[in-house]
Amino acid sequence: MARQFKFGEAAEKNTENGVIDIPHTCILQTYSARELVDKFEATWGRKPSAVALPVSNADGLLFDVDGLSKYSAAGSGFKDGIGDFGGLVKAFATEGLNIYLTLDVTLPFQESPPLQIVDIVGDSSRHLCFGNPTTVEILGAILGTGIDLAFEALQDMTPPTNSKLLGVVLDLVNLWPMGGSDNRLELTCFCPSCQEYFELHEKGKRLIDKFKTFPNPWSLALRATESGISFVDEIGINHGAKEIVGFSRLKGFDAAFGSNNGDSELIRKADDLLKYMSVRHDQVMSSVDSVFSEAMRGLSTDKNPYISEAARMMRRVILVEGTSYSWSGGIFIEKLDQLKPAEFDEIWADKGPQTPILKCVPNYAYMSRRSRYYLDAFFEVIANAADSNAMATTGMGRMVRDQLQELLVQRLQQSLACLTAGKAALGTLGVASDDEKQGRQGYVGIALDKTAGIDLINGVNIARGPTAKK
């Protein structure tokens, strides 16, 4: 006798509305569109309904954008003779899939010192500041150009396709990288644009000065360790200063304040910490709104009825970490759980043991721990290994070739270890919503596997660092 149980029913229902995410086009040099669709179906038990295609890679652009010129080494040479970005769109539309376009907003390939993030002690790094208005304009131009090319490709198909450009996705997982040593924290970003935003915000005036010391309010919730930054991840929108002090004491972070750790003093610092978190959240969402507005400007009134109608139906999606507050993303995820948010339409986030349940906003489960965090880190270190400027200005340049190769493989293994796959993983999510306007709608499975990752590593033309040896 074969009986059906609730877990199996939930797992089967959850196979609906799957999206296959291609975080880097190197994957399309190893597998064809058809092969990726077949692999997805074999893994999840059902064919995907959509694909997410990047509009840039960590090492450069995939198409011409006015004013920008650095191109990805994996921007061509795709399997089955596909020659360009439009060809990729057509290949997946031929498989019957709708299209999402994704963009990592940090643009690690764009060497623009005036736009780079700056930490609290004044040191800069290669990521662009998401709060800088010029960065927003660049992002809007890249994403907008990708939209135009996708529309052009879909309209050019013979026979006509039913596939649509379903939405555009901003990867917000690692906007504000963190560093530190000896318990001293170096958060980002405090460039002139960010400082101006804080000063003009009702909660941010003269706030940054309170963090230019040690210990400071961050020390309540963050601690630098040999393996990275340890943090309090329970802080949500309903927690006050007293709760933060309690969390800090529970984890032992209050030790950073030595004898000056009375409740009244720490509560004042916790209040400043909450103000900082709130202002940073507002800054991120303001930039999100601006990027989407720039990328989609004029589309809904385009004279071409195909474009104007499609633009009105397109979803504005943000890809974030599934934690109450993301320190590297600067976002309170619970603040985003609204029926009709102004800045976006849909959230993609990983589902962990402490992920808040999003009941209002339409959302998809991103099937990788910390969402794109480890995936982005892997592809960025690959890009840096082939970039002579990065090799000359980072610790990677002091590695011998074997050490560097080992680092690349280690980052790949770390990325793959974070992925979850299969019906059993879907069953743990609970049943998807029956209302297409709110709650969890589906899931996003990641296309990267060991074969594609090793192919990418083997194909890297490693640049020589200042002390590199063969």
71 versus 284: which is more confidently predicted?
Answer: 284
How many structural domains compose the chain? Answer: 1
User: pLDDT for 219-241, tens place per residue?
Assistant: 999 999 888 899 998 899 999 99
113 within a domain of the structure (yes/no):
yes
Query: What number of other Cβ atoms are within 10 A of residue 227's Cβ?
Result: 6
| Cβ(407)–Cβ(399) below 8 Å | yes
Residue 413 in this model has a pLDDT that exceeds 60 = yes
The mean pLDDT of 335-358, rounded to a whole number, is 93
| Cβ(394)–Cβ(384) below 8 Å | yes
The distance between the two most distant Cα atoms of the chain, rounded to a whole number of Å, is 74
pLDDT level of residue 7 (50, 70, 90 thresholds): confident
Retrieve residue 217's tokens.
């309010």
The mean pLDDT of 344-367, rounded to a whole number, is 95
Residue 469 in this model has a pLDDT that exceeds 70 = no
Question: What is the model's pLDDT at position 167?
Answer: 98
pLDDT level of residue 470 (50, 70, 90 thresholds): very low
pLDDT level of residue 33 (50, 70, 90 thresholds): very high
- CATH code for position 172: 3.20.20
The mean pLDDT of 8-17, rounded to a whole number, is 86
Residue 359 in this model has a pLDDT that exceeds 80 = yes
> In angstroms, what CA-CA distances link 405 with 48, 74, 280, 382?
34, 19, 37, 10
Retrieve residue 169's tokens.
């996705």
The mean pLDDT of 42-56, rounded to a whole number, is 97
30 versus 463: which is more confidently predicted?
Answer: 30
pTM recorded for the entire structure: 0.96
Return d(Cα 177, Cα 181) in angstroms, integer: 14
> In angstroms, what CA-CA distances link 77 with 32, 51, 104, 229?
11, 20, 22, 39
* Residue-range definition of the domain harbouring residue 53: 17-458
9 within a domain of the structure (yes/no):
no
Provide the percentage of residues in the chain whose pLDDT is more than 70.
99
Is the N-terminal amide bond of 113 cis, ω within 30° of 0?
Answer: no
Helix axes 85-94, 33-44, angle to 10 degrees: 50
Full DSSP string of 239-295: --HHHHHHHHHHHTGGGGGTT---HHHHHHHHHHHHHHHHHHHHHHHHHHHHHHHHH
Question: What is the model's pLDDT at position 1?
Answer: 62
Question: What is the model's pLDDT at position 11?
Answer: 84
| Cβ(294)–Cβ(140) below 8 Å | yes
User: pLDDT for 322-339, tens place per residue?
Assistant: 999 999 999 999 999 988
8 within a domain of the structure (yes/no):
no
The mean pLDDT of 383-412, rounded to a whole number, is 88
Cα 336 to chain centroid distance, Å, stands at 16
- SS3 of residue 320 by DSSP: strand
144 within a domain of the structure (yes/no):
yes
> In angstroms, what CA-CA distances link 115 with 194, 210, 295?
11, 24, 19
- Bridge partners of residue 348, in order along the sequence: 319, 364
Q: Which helix (H) or strand (E) holds 57?
A: strand 56-57
168 within a domain of the structure (yes/no):
yes
User: pLDDT for 171-217, tens place per residue?
Assistant: 999 999 999 887 789 999 999 999 999 999 999 999 999 999 999 99
Of 169, 164, 188, give the one whose Cα is nearest residue 178.
188
What is the 8-class DSSP label of residue 342?
S
What residue has token string 């849909």? 346
464 within a domain of the structure (yes/no):
no
Q: Kindly report the average pLDDT of the chain as a whole number.
A: 93
Which of the residue ranges 70-74, 151-155, 202-206, 373-377 would you say has the lowest mean pLDDT?
70-74
> In angstroms, what CA-CA distances link 55 with 25, 92, 157?
9, 15, 20
The mean pLDDT of 409-414, rounded to a whole number, is 97
Question: What is the model's pLDDT at position 35?
Answer: 98
Residue 76 in this model has a pLDDT that exceeds 90 = no
466 within a domain of the structure (yes/no):
no
| Cβ(134)–Cβ(142) below 8 Å | no
Residue 407 in this model has a pLDDT that exceeds 50 = yes
2 within a domain of the structure (yes/no):
no
The mean pLDDT of 130-154, rounded to a whole number, is 98
Residue 434 in this model has a pLDDT that exceeds 70 = yes
